[in-house]
Amino acid sequence: MTSPVPLESGEGPRLAYVQAADENAIAENLVAFANTEGGIIVVGLQPDGRPARNGIAGADIDRVLKMADELYSPPVVIESWDRLQPNAVGAEPAVQANGNNGDTEETPPAPRDHSAYAITVPRSTELHALADGRVLIRSGKNNRPLGGQEILRLASAKNTGDFESEPVPGATIDDFSRKMIDEFLEKRAERSKRQYDGEIRRLLMEIGALNAEGKPTVCGLLLFSEHPQRWLPQSGVVFVKFAGTTPRAESGQAGYSRREELTGPLPRLVESTWNLIWGEMAISAVVKSLEREESFEYPQFAVREALVNAICHRDYRLRGRRIEVRMYADRLEVISPGGLPGFITVENIKEEHFSRNPRLVAGLFHWGYIEELGLGIDRMLEVMEQAGHSPPKFDARPYSFAVALHNERSKPKLPEWSRDTNHRQARALQYIRENGSITNREFRALIQNVSAETLRLDLADLVSKGMLNRVGAKKGTYYVLKD
């Protein structure tokens, strides 16, 4: 499997319940999962997740899988099929582990050799169709047939190969950081509620970080190398903050006030880019009786989702282009190299899910950067609306995909002491309210890893806005709140 599927969550993009050992129903789910992101088919459960009345025998599963194999082409690879343990699916199973049956009125006892079985289907690199010609994908809780153009787009996506699983010439397992691996194992244990006690090398192969020959893959280096840009220079992020609403100033010169190039493994890249955006994000501040009320320029979840999606789903085959984060006065743009994958379009991006890099998605899911697979766009739309912003704007082109978050919401009239400040300036104001004043040296101690000149300009900006008074000169300079 490319990513975990929590059985207790109920049917969804990667989990289907089939009540009986029906070869037609199983064949449809096998094709849908193989064509999309992979998943688990639980045979022997009713649609509400309760055990089927009669249960399923292991011999029935083996027989019906052979029958289903005649109903589609090419053959679908099945990773495994296993009997479910008791209580594995949030409802009392028909059969206990020791063979004793749960005796309830709704679910009568089943024979000792009957139970529910989980069939694990990995994502396939081939395009599968049923005998009647239908090409199915998994869409939410259902299987949906694709139309002609959608089939062509999906076939094209599968024909490009599986770049994230390709070995990287010259790289060895020694290029992986043990610190990054240990951190991954810790986060994975938190998410799955169990520790991994097997061989690390085997796990790295299972998640696609190493290939069958033990060579590091693109996915492995992006997740676990301290500096994957040595092999994949296109895997970094470029951050640019513009003073206005266009890349050019009125003079025609470049209008940016800050430009940073960020590198590192993908988990570090998410954090460093987020911290940079956070530091530059304007905060609407209202001070009332020394109490500060803050409203962020953009909802935090929407920003992180746009950033994580770009890092997860960009086309890493495209060299010479990095992810770009552009911060304008009226919007934040996250531009990802590579068009939308497979059958995904701007029109169906909310309902459908198909990843160009499923192993990277699984890795960052385990790391905790993806909250719930396939539902990020929904929540991004929701939090933007709740914050009073317009919905995100998506721009899909053949070789790029951009998400724009706009901050042009109608701003209410705020009382005095209401200003737009960045995160550093907000902390400076809070420090002054608590301590009476602030010096340049104290500001540098408060905000680290930012140049002294940037901090000096922050304080000068607060003076020009009428929020602070500058007192003294040279080394004796300090700042206080303006009456």
Q: What is the pLDDT of residue 371?
A: 74
Strand order in the sheet with 468-471: 438-439, 478-481, 468-471
Q: What is the pLDDT of residue 425?
A: 87
Q: What are phi and psi of 434, to 5 degrees?
A: -85, -30
Task: Classify domain 234-406 at the CATH topology level.
Answer: Heat Shock Protein 90 (3.30.565)
Per mean pLDDT, which of 53-57, 96-100, 411-415 is the most reliable?
53-57
Name the pTM for this structure.
0.70
Residue identified by tokens 């055990």 is: 51
Per mean pLDDT, which of 241-250, 313-322, 365-374, 461-470 is the most reliable?
313-322
Lowest mean pLDDT among 166-175, 348-357, 367-376: 367-376
**Are 117 and 42 contacting, i.e. CB atoms less than 8 angstroms apart?**
yes
Q: What is the pLDDT of residue 249?
A: 63
Element (H, E) at 190: helix 178-192
- Spell out a b/e string for 419-428, using b for 16 or more CB atoms within 10 Å of the CB, else e: bebbbbbbbb
- In the chain, where does the domain assigned CATH 1.10.10.10 lie? 418-481
**What percent of the chain shows pLDDT beyond 70?**
84
Residue identified by tokens 């025609």 is: 252
Beta bridge partners of 242: 256
Q: Which CATH architecture has domain 418-481?
A: Orthogonal Bundle (1.10)
Task: Classify domain 7-158 at the CATH topology level.
Answer: 3.30.950
Which one, of 10, 95, 1, 22, lies nearest residue 53 by Cα?
Answer: 95
Residue 418 clears pLDDT 60, i.e. is over it: no
- In the chain, where does the domain assigned CATH 3.30.565.60 lie? 234-406
Mean pLDDT of 136-149: 93
